[in-house]
Chain A
């Protein structure tokens, strides 16, 4: 589903965000991406939906090299990937419903189909009754759930979440992670970058740990398989 093959990413000025990172994620997997600030988690996620390009190496999504994807094709890739950020990035002047219907609208669905998809996504996050509210009328947790609903609209193949609970209290965080588990149960591949050790321990999932741009551990769900990636061992771990 998603493969990183010896991926390096450095930014102008020489800052290295990712250094020879290789791994493979199967369809329907739930993966936590952990690591300290600056470890390269956000960069790694942004490479998946091609918000940025690798300096070297290949990122494959469904067998297609994302880096060599023509620019015009990028939107079609992104339509299959839902993304949730730490800040919900909701449009303040739009209602919850309008925020969730961006993708169905872009896809040219009929108004009734847009409504169907939006309400289904809002129902999944428990906010169907707040469809007409504006983001400012919602709590932080509710806003994040709307962002997840937006990412889930049209049933994406991959759901990426970048510190989705960074601004939420533990109780709300648990609810949010529960939503990701439910998305995975519906067949979506879920990758969540998080600092939250409790989430990692509460939800059985594979954990990819990054440190200073390198993949330093790949722990399989339930079996506590930890691979120290020695220098030079760059084969995908699965």
Chain B
């Protein structure tokens, strides 16, 4: 038998077996699909959040909040002082009026809050843009201390600090997603393994005859391996299709949907989609190999 004939034979037998046992095959495919889909959801969200984080990090600023009574002259003086620092690229004064106007623009429904005479929630501030190297790393302890020591500074707010926390959170979410997906994938491998073992058991009479007439182990086992591989590939395709469906359903339908934009703004890249298919197919193949690793159907005649 040539390789071409053998491959055609493997595909024919594997597809025939999938068709005959379509119910259990579907179960195996769905198990793989669910595990990859759940892992994929985490991947989709973390992929989008990571993208947003990079944008936010590019726009990250350090804000120095001053006491409400600080005059504009003092603010100007402090701006000159911080601009003298080599790791500060620019500094912009945000007066009380600027802050109120910005707040009113962003949250028009909450503007009444600012009318409370006993509170001043919007102190004047200096918005610093750090030099690129410092921006990537965020403020170190000494830099933070030197900013905090400036006269009139009430609070130093570093965007990089919360971005770091958010990035860690995204990282934890990603790891948790992969761990959950991986766990389910292992379960899926076992499911496929059981399905293939059941199939092989169902065909044990045929396997015995094939061994009897001289079929090689490769010829006997490869259709089962291929069946597992195809089940895994089917699971991967189903997972990608479901992810695509969820993405189309949840993606932002217009401007101003910041949360959706951050979580499901764009679909996974093609390399990730291909990785899903490969992982699914490999999981199926491994399940099949795992199920047939023992000589489970051997002709062992009785003593007569």
Contact = CB atoms under 8 A, between A and B. Distances in A.
Interface of A: 11, 15, 17, 37-43, 45-46, 49, 51-52, 72, 75-80, 83, 89, 91, 94, 99, 102-103, 105-108, 150, 162-163, 193
B214 A75 contact: yes
B304 A42 contact: yes
B119 interface: no
15 contacts: A15-B303, A38-B303, A42-B301, A42-B302, A43-B304, A45-B301, A46-B299, A52-B301, A75-B217, A77-B214, A89-B208, A89-B209, A89-B212, A150-B209, A193-B304
Contacts, number: 76
B213 A79 contact: yes
A162 to B, nearest CB: 8
Contacts of A38: 303-304
A51 B205 contact: no
Interface of B: 1-2, 5-6, 9, 205-206, 208-217, 219, 299-304
A80 B299 CA distance: 18
Given A89-B205, A91-B206, A108-B1, A103 B304 contact: no
Ordered nearest first, which 10 A-B pairs have the shortest CB separation? A108-B1, A79-B214, A42-B304, A78-B214, A103-B213, A75-B214, A46-B301, A51-B299, A17-B303, A108-B5
Contacts of A80: 214
Q: Secondary structure at chain B's binding surface: helix, strand, loop or mixed?
A: helix
A67 B252 CA distance: 71
A51 B213 CA distance: 12
A231 to B, nearest CB: 22
Contacts of A49: 212
A17 B300 CA distance: 13
Contacts of A94: 206
Contacts of A79: 213-214
A167 to B, nearest CB: 15
Given A72-B217, A75-B214, A102-B215, 18 more contacts: A11-B303, A15-B303, A38-B303, A49-B212, A75-B211, A75-B215, A75-B217, A78-B212, A78-B214, A80-B214, A89-B205, A102-B213, A106-B1, A106-B214, A106-B219, A107-B1, A108-B1, A150-B209
Given A78-B211, A91-B205, A107-B1, A51 B300 contact: yes
Contacts of A162: 301, 304
A108 B6 contact: yes
A105 B217 CA distance: 15
Contacts of B304: 37-43, 162-163, 193
A52 B209 contact: no
A11 B208 CA distance: 21
B291 to A, nearest CB: 20
Contacts of B303: 11, 15, 17, 38, 40, 42-43
A40 B208 CA distance: 22
B94 to A, nearest CB: 80
A164 B111 CA distance: 98
B2 A51 contact: no
